[in-house]
Amino acid sequence: MKAEEINFVLDTAAHFREILDRPIKKVPALRGKSVCTLFYEASTRTRTSFEIAAKTLSADTSSIAVGQSSVTKGESLKDTALTIKAMGVDIFVVRHHDSGAPHNVASWTGLPVINAGDGQHEHPTQGLLDMLTIRRHKRNLTGLKVAIVGDIKHSRVARSDMWGLTAMGAEVRLCGPKTLLPPVTQHWPAVVTTNLEEALDGADVVNVLRIQRERQDQGLFPSVREYHRQYGITPQRLKACKPDVIVMHPGPMNRGVEISPEVADAGYAVIEEQVTNGVAVRMALLYLVLGGEGAV
């Protein structure tokens, strides 16, 4: 996405944010539209966020819990998507373990699809809400120093953040242990390092990624305590950043592993605000994609 597009979406999201503060959190913009969330991977935040966003806009939602659907009988993604389309759904929100799956759903059904996370590829709505959160605190994204710390290799959040932030002119530093960094990153527009001090030095924003315990079983790091000692974000380590640094986390947090509880509960941690901004961003996207005739 280009900077202009990102700005447009973020501006729209900022206006939608105000609706969440009203006594009646409903506007009739998408009345009569039907949104289907199709999540092949577990999610609290993203799925609920999309549902609430759709409902606030007066759209109707249906949620496919894949574990209780015919997918367990072996139904393919394509058939699942076409079946739901045949019920009159207007837009899909898809999270899938395969990269590119949302794109396939769109080409099979001809309906708009919002990617809620595909494999290790991207999580664009998270990227957008991260940028909105940063913008609310830092005004301008250009020239900001953003450090993203954690399991970069498996993180679609890191990728979406990186592409979005660099498009907006920010300087992105990706940091993690060597085993959790992707092997090939030369073509990425970010600084990739295993040195935490270097990544945090003078940073305006620190985004802490979740450490997945499964990676420990795969032998990618020795123990959570070891990870915390080397890469955990603590108040001590944050001293290397700018004094007005903000700390973000896409959630869910492993307190004491990648982020210490003091940091998570501190005033400069904007983690809860991220969640609220997430609803606003998803409202903006649903409105922009569904509103208007034939739209795109």
Partner 1 sequence: MPSLESAGGPIPESRILNPDSSFPSARPTATIGYEALLSRSREAGKALQPLRGLVAIAQPSLHGGRLFRFFGGNAVSEQNRVVMDSDEMRRAIVRIAHEIIEKNKGAERIVIVGIRRRGVPMAQRLADAVRQIENVDPPVGSLDIALYRDDLTLRQPIVGPTDIKFSIDGRVVVLADDVFFTGRTTRAALDALMDLGRPSAIQMAVLVDRGHRELPIRPDYVGKNVPTARTESIEVRIQPTDDEDVVYLVKDAGAPSEV
Residue closer to partner 1, measured from CB, 170 or 196:
170
Minimum separation from the CB atom of position 168 to partner 1 (A):
11
Minimum separation from the CB atom of position 152 to partner 1 (A):
14
Structure tokens at 40: 């092949």
Residue closer to partner 1, measured from CB, 12 or 193:
12
Residue closer to partner 1, measured from CB, 80 or 115:
115
Question: What are the CA-CA distances from residue 265 to residues 202, 235, 275 (Å)?
Answer: 22, 11, 15
Q: What phi, psi does 91 have (nearest 5°)?
A: -155, 145
Chain residues in the site for partner 1 (CB under 8 A): 1-2, 4-5, 8, 12, 14-16, 18, 22-24, 26-30, 57, 78, 99-100, 102-104, 106-110, 112-115, 118, 121-122, 124-125, 127, 159-160, 163-164, 167, 187-188, 284-285, 287-289, 291-293, 295-296
Question: Which of 41, 54, 101 has the alpha carbon at shortest distance from 76?
Answer: 101
Minimum separation from the CB atom of position 296 to partner 1 (A):
4
Minimum separation from the CB atom of position 259 to partner 1 (A):
26
Question: What are the CA-CA distances from residue 252 to residues 45, 88, 164, 212, 234 (Å)?
Answer: 8, 34, 22, 10, 17
Residue closer to partner 1, measured from CB, 233 or 284:
284
Minimum separation from the CB atom of position 9 to partner 1 (A):
8
Minimum separation from the CB atom of position 145 to partner 1 (A):
21
Residue closer to partner 1, measured from CB, 11 or 265:
11
Q: What phi, psi does 293 have (nearest 5°)?
A: -80, 135
Q: 95-99 — which CB contacts under 8 Å span 24+ positions?
A: 95/38, 95/39, 95/40, 95/41, 95/43, 95/46, 95/47, 96/38, 96/40, 96/41, 97/40, 97/41
Minimum separation from the CB atom of position 65 to partner 1 (A):
22
Residue closer to partner 1, measured from CB, 119 or 251:
119
Dihedral angle of Cα 157, 163, 166, 171, to the nearest 10 degrees:
40
Residue closer to partner 1, measured from CB, 13 or 259:
13
The answer to whether the peptide bond before residue 252 is cis (omega within 30 degrees of 0) is yes
Structure tokens at 255: 């307190």
Do residues 15 and 283 lie in contact, with contact meaning Cβ atoms separated by under 8 Å?
no
